[in-house]
Structures are given as C-alpha cells and as structure tokens.
Amino acid sequence: MIRNPKILERTKTALLIIDIQERILGVMQNPKGVVENTVKLIEGMKILNIPVYFTEQYPKGLGATESTIKAALGNSEAIQKMSFSCGGAGELFKDFRRKGIEQIIICGIESHVCVQQTVLDLLANNFQVDVIADAISSRKKVDYNTALFRMQSNGAEVTTTESVLFELLNVCGTDEFKSVSKLVK
C-alpha cells in the first residue's frame, strides 16, 4: 500500500514552538487553548521520542516562555531570536538538516508574524510544514484566518493537535497509543 508522503513520520519530524511568551500571550485569541494544546503536543512528543525546539522573541521585552509550557519542556533551553522568522535563529534550520528532520510541526504566536514568516521560510527551504491550527494564535481573528490561508496556499499542511498526534502514532493498541489517548481526552 502506498501512503501519502505528507503523513508525518516520527524519524524525520520535530516540533517547533514559536514565541509563546508571558507578556504577549494574554492579548491573543484563545490563549488558554493555545497553552493546553501546546502542552499536549510537548507531552505527545516525549511519549513518541520526537525532538522539541522552542524560541523566544526578544525575551527582554516580551518575557520568558509561558510557565506551564516551560514546565512541560523541562530543562530545555530556548533559542533566542530577534528576527521574526526562526530562519534567523542561529543554526536552527541547519540543525534540522543535520538530524535528518524534514517535517516540522509548528505551534506558537503570532500566526501572522513569527509563525507565518517561519513557515514560509521553512517551505522555501524544502521542509514539510504542519501548522497546528488549534495551537497558534494572533490578537485579531482576521490576522489568524488570513495567515492560515496564506500558509496553506504556499504549501503548508494545516491540521490540529489531536490529528497530528494520532498521525504520528500510526497504529492503535500500543502503550504509546494508550498514553497519547489519555492526553487528548
């Protein structure tokens, strides 16, 4: 059987969390949902042994990563950046290539600024990008909707937290399946 090449594969996938920081999160649409779904993604990646990266945009001004997300990330260190796109975050894209990562799952804020520019740059560099619609946000709904449309029009896959977790599982009946199923309930 031939499977669609856009289906995520654990061995070549990473999660990238973009700039979910304390001082800006409160003015986003659905901040609680973004945090909850981001934590589910982090926990799911831990279960599935998939690498997780996260960035902070100008932390001196925007603060640190939201505390619940930071707790889920454990001792991981943020990739600091000043550019809107994560393409300007040091060697991040080169690190993906060195590790054989071709598929990037994206969550974060703001949809129409840092998320969108990162997605477009990843696509331009021949990565597959899966944008998690229920784990990104903007201050205004029109910016969120327009960004989703633009990213998808340029080749990004738009999906949801639960969908991507089950896609990475591939099969049911395993201990991983049971653990992930508990996350999404």
The one-letter code for the residue type at 108 is G
Beta carbons within 8 Å of 96's beta carbon, 6+ residues apart: 14, 102, 104, 127
**Residue 183 region by backbone torsions, left for phi larger than 0, else alpha for psi between -120 and 50, else beta:** alpha
CB 14 within 8 A of CB 51: yes
Q: Which of 86, 107, 114, 134 is catalytic?
A: 114
Q: Which of 40, 81, 107, 134 is catalytic?
A: 81
In 3-state terms, what secondary structure has residue 106?
Answer: strand
159's enclosing H/E stretch is strand 157-159
Q: Catalytic: 121?
A: no
- Report helix angle 141-153 to 116-124, nearest 10: 0
Main-chain phi, psi angles of 82, to 5 degrees: -115, -25
Structure tokens at 131: 């944008």
Q: Catalytic: 185?
A: no
Q: In the block, which residue shows the tokens 């001082």? A: 23
Residues belonging to the active site? 19, 81, 114
